[in-house]
């Protein structure tokens, strides 16, 4: 898929087929994070890949899925992500811009994955202290995000914004994601 097609067809997915991500693709996903832009080229981001079943089971309760439609977004046991990537930032390396660098790394990973058919959910509503304890993450690291990955087992489509940004799931389990129109968010030459 070309870059634009990858970007516009990407949607958040929270239910996954139980098919592992090939190691080669996982490496490409991580490479795309490593080579992302970084303020001052300080490169404070590090990544914990969670592939092992026990670790995945320990992480799952620390995550919140689709807050606006809870609990309908929760994946059942046989549709949980096959791999997680926890994005952490060494605050000794970058005290101020780490969150921006982490966000760039996240989007790079999401798009690299999706260009090869692997869907994802960016998770920010996470129990950071629990995650710190489970994975022995030192105090000088900020735990920014968790990326949930896997081949999609549900569908999601964009809808025109009609006064409410709240997304919904229909009776078939498909997500509908309202997005504001270009005319409402783009200003040419003057506000």
Ligand X SMILES: Cc1cc2nc3c(=O)[nH]c(=O)nc-3n(C[C@H](O)[C@H](O)[C@H](O)COP(=O)(O)O)c2cc1C
Binding residues for ligand X, rule: CB under 6 A, are 11-12, 14, 64-66, 73, 121-125, 156, 167, 177
**Residue carrying the six token digits 């959910």:** 121
Closest CB 21 distance from ligand X, rounded Å = 19
What's the closest the beta carbon of residue 105 comes to ligand X, in angstroms? 12
Peptide bond into 71 cis (omega under 30): yes
Comparison of 19 and 180: residue with beta carbon closer to ligand X: 180
Q: How far is the CB of 75 from ligand X (least distance, A)?
A: 10
**Edge-to-edge order in the sheet of strand 119-123:** 45-50, 83-90, 141-150, 119-123
| Between 26 and 123, CB nearer to ligand X | 123
Residue nearest to ligand X (CB): 124
Task: Tell me which DSSP letter residue 60 carries.
Answer: G
Q: 184 vs 189, which CB is nearer to ligand X?
A: 184
- Least distance to ligand X, CB of residue 190, Å: 29
**Nearest approach, Cβ of 112 to ligand X (angstroms)?**
16
In the bound state with ligand X, the residue whose beta carbon lies nearer, of 22 and 129, is 129
Terminal-residue alpha carbon distance, the chain = 35
Find out whether 167 and 158 touch, Cβ atoms under 8 Å.
no
For ligand X, the closer of residues 27 and 159 by Cβ is: 159
Write the secondary structure of 64-115 as one string of H (helix), E (strand) and C (coil).
CCCHHHCCCCCCCHHHCCCEEEEEEEECCCCCCCHHHHHHHHHHHHHHHHHH
């Amino acid at each position: 898929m070309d870059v634009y097609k990858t970007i516009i067809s990407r949607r958040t997915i929270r239910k996954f087929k139980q098919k592992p991500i090939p190691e080669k693709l996982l490496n490409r996903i991580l490479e795309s994070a490593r080579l992302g832009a970084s303020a001052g080229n300080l490169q404070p981001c590090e990544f914990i890949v969670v592939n092992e079943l026990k670790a995945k089971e320990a992480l799952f309760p620390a995550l919140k899925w689709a807050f606006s439609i809870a609990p309908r977004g929760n994946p059942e046991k046989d549709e949980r992500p096959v791999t997680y990537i926890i994005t952490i930032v060494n605050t000794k390396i970058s005290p101020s811009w780490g969150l921006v660098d982490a966000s760039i790394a996240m989007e790079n990973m999401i798009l690299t994955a999706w260009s090869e058919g692997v869907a994802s959910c960016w998770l920010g509503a996470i129990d950071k202290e629990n995650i710190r304890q489970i994975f022995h993450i030192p105090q000088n690291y900020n735990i920014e995000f968790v990326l949930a990955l896997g081949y999609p087992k549900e569908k999601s489509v964009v809808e025109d914004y009609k006064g409410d940004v709240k997304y919904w799931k229909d009776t078939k389990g498909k997500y509908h994601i309202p997005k504001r129109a270009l005319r409402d968010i783009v200003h040419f030459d003057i506000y």
